[in-house]
């Protein structure tokens, strides 16, 4: 686990032994704010995506869980979610088992980098950047969920980008990360929605291959052309995913696959790699701007970047 911090951290703000208010439980709607800031998050589309899922799901599987936005929108009772990024999976497991510890992780790092959340004066940007780089070096020396959480909230655009030797190299963002109290409130809202899920650190293929008839698998993969340095996804291959989806369909498992309409070259490549007939429905789920484009085009106009997100389903919709 990460080193302790030099500054004194503020006390915990939420009593985790008390049940959350009814309005924040699984039946109470999708939480407004994201718990993790995550490039490529489906947060804005999550409700629309989960509404396309059938109502008779035996078990829900999400093999590229990331910030768990679709999972949280669905709030399933029986589910398995996995990701190849081990500290991320450890984060979600600790949200379930020890939310007070997750709250402390964030509160301590916030104090380490930004000082007292109630102070009248904010630390200058260069001091913040210095603190951020210290947390990033510590994470790269020993990847861990506590530092990853803070880095994601403070990094430029929630980008999870790695260099060729596996080190996270996203620069510090110019924004002020959400204060510890706001984070604790979000954690309280999100936690009930993921309690029915088992989180695992595994490659997508292992997860998809375990789904059985009556189950639903939702895939939101990185796309190999444009996202090869994101999330440490260098090993991802679309053909391997398509083969796993074929096998799942043969077992009568329903599979939904998200394709971000902004990834134009990716969409072209995907079209070539998908066997005609594998997917029986193409649904446009929403419109919005792509964070990925925003990162690549930093400083340039976004007006032409309004895009649709598509969802491919292996079953026919009535």
Ligand X SMILES: C[S@@+](CC[C@H](N)C(=O)[O-])C[C@H]1O[C@@H](n2cnc3c(N)ncnc32)[C@H](O)[C@@H]1O
- Rank residues 72 and 135 by Cβ distance to ligand X and give the closer one: 72
What residue number has its CB nearest to ligand X? 66
Q: How far apart are the first and last CA of the chain?
A: 50
- Would you say 64 or 132 has its CB closer to ligand X? 64
Q: What distance separates the 2 farthest-apart alpha carbons in the chain? A: 61
Of 200, 203, 286, 305, the one binding ligand X (CB under 6 A) is 203
231 binds ligand X (CB under 6 A): yes
Q: Minimum Å distance from CB 127 to ligand X?
A: 30
When the beta carbons of 66 and 131 are compared against ligand X, the nearer one is: 66
Distances (CA, A) of 79 to 44, 76, 141, 288: 22, 6, 33, 28
| Closer residue to ligand X, CB minimum distance, 107 or 207 | 207
Residues facing residue 257 across a β-bridge:
219, 312
- 75 contacts ligand X (rule: CB under 6 A): no
Nearest to 268 by CA among 231, 224, 313: 224
Measured CA to CA, the distance from residue 44 to residue 57 in angstroms comes to 23
Residue 292 as a binder of ligand X (CB under 6 A): the answer is: no
Q: Is 135 in the site for ligand X (CB under 6 A)?
A: no
Span interacting with ligand X, options 36-44, 145-153, 166-174, 292-300, rule CB under 6 A: 36-44
The long-range contacts involving 275-279, CB below 8 angstroms and separated by at least 24 positions, are 275/242, 275/246, 278/242, 278/245, 278/246, 278/249, 278/314, 279/312, 279/313, 279/314
As measured in angstroms, the least distance from the Cβ of 231 to ligand X is 4
> What is the three-class DSSP state of 128?
helix
As measured in angstroms, the least distance from the Cβ of 48 to ligand X is: 13
Q: Specify the stretch interacting with ligand X by CB under 6 A; choose among 50-58, 63-71, 89-97, 165-173.
A: 63-71
- Binding of ligand X by 204 (CB under 6 A): yes
Q: Is 67 in the site for ligand X (CB under 6 A)?
A: yes
* Phi and psi torsions of 30, nearest 5°: -70, 135
Shortest spacing between CB 291 and ligand X, in angstroms: 10
Sole binder of ligand X in the list 197, 236, 245, 263 (CB under 6 A)? 236
C-alpha to C-alpha distance for 114 and 183, rounded to whole angstroms:
15
CA angle 246/250/255 to nearest 5° reads 60
Q: Give the pair of three-digit tokens for residue 258.
A: 């998200």
Query: Nearest-CA neighbor of 8 among 121, 116, 136, 127?
Result: 116
Closer to ligand X by Cβ: residue 41 or 314: 41
Closer to ligand X by Cβ: residue 30 or 274: 30
What's the rounded Cα separation, in Å, for the pair 166 and 161?
9
How far apart are the C-alpha atoms of 278 and 270, rounded to whole Å? 13
Which C-beta is closer to ligand X: that of 113 or that of 270?
A: 270
The answer to the question of residue 89 lying near ligand X (CB under 6 A) is no
Cβ proximity to ligand X, 2 vs 233, nearer residue: 233
Choose, by CB under 6 A, the member of 173, 222, 261, 266 that binds ligand X: 222
- Sketch the per residue contact string, 39 through 58, with ligand X: x for CB under 6 A, - otherwise: -xxx----------------
SS3 state at 161: strand
For ligand X, the binding residues (CB under 6 A) are 38, 40-42, 63-64, 66-67, 69-70, 83-85, 203-204, 220-222, 231, 233, 235-236
């Amino acid at each position: 686990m990460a080193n302790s911090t030099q500054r004194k951290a503020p006390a915990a703000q939420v009593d985790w032994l008390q049940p959350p208010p009814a309005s924040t439980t699984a039946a109470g709607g999708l939480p407004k704010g994201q718990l993790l800031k995550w490039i490529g998050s489906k947060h804005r589309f999550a409700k629309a995506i989960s509404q396309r899922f059938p109502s008779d799901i035996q078990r829900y599987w999400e093999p590229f869980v990331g910030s768990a936005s679709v999972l949280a929108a669905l709030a399933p009772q029986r589910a398995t979610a996995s990701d190849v990024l081990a500290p991320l999976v450890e984060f979600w497991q600790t949200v379930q088992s020890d939310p007070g510890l997750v709250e402390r992780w964030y509160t301590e790092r916030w104090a380490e980098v930004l000082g007292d959340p109630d102070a009248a004066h904010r630390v200058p940007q260069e001091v913040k950047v210095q603190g951020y780089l210290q947390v990033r070096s510590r994470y790269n020396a020993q990847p861990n969920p506590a530092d990853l959480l803070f880095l994601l909230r403070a990094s430029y655009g929630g980008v999870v980008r790695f260099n060729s030797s596996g080190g996270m190299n996203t620069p510090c963002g110019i924004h002020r990360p959400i204060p510890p109290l706001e984070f604790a409130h979000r954690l309280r809202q999100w936690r009930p929605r993921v309690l029915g899920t088992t989180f695992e650190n595994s490659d997508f293929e292992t997860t998809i291959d375990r789904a059985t008839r009556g189950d639903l698998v939702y895939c939101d993969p990185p796309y190999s052309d444009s996202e090869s340095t994101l999330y440490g996804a260098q090993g991802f291959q679309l053909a391997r995913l398509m083969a796993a989806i074929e096998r799942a369909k043969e077992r009568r498992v329903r599979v939904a696959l998200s394709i971000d309409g902004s990834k134009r070259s990716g969409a072209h490549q995907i079209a070539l790699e998908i066997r005609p007939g594998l997917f029986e429905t193409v649904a446009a789920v929403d419109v919005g701007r792509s964070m990925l484009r925003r990162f690549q085009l930093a400083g340039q106009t976004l007006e032409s970047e309004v895009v649709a997100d598509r969802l491919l389903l292996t079953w026919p919709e009535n």
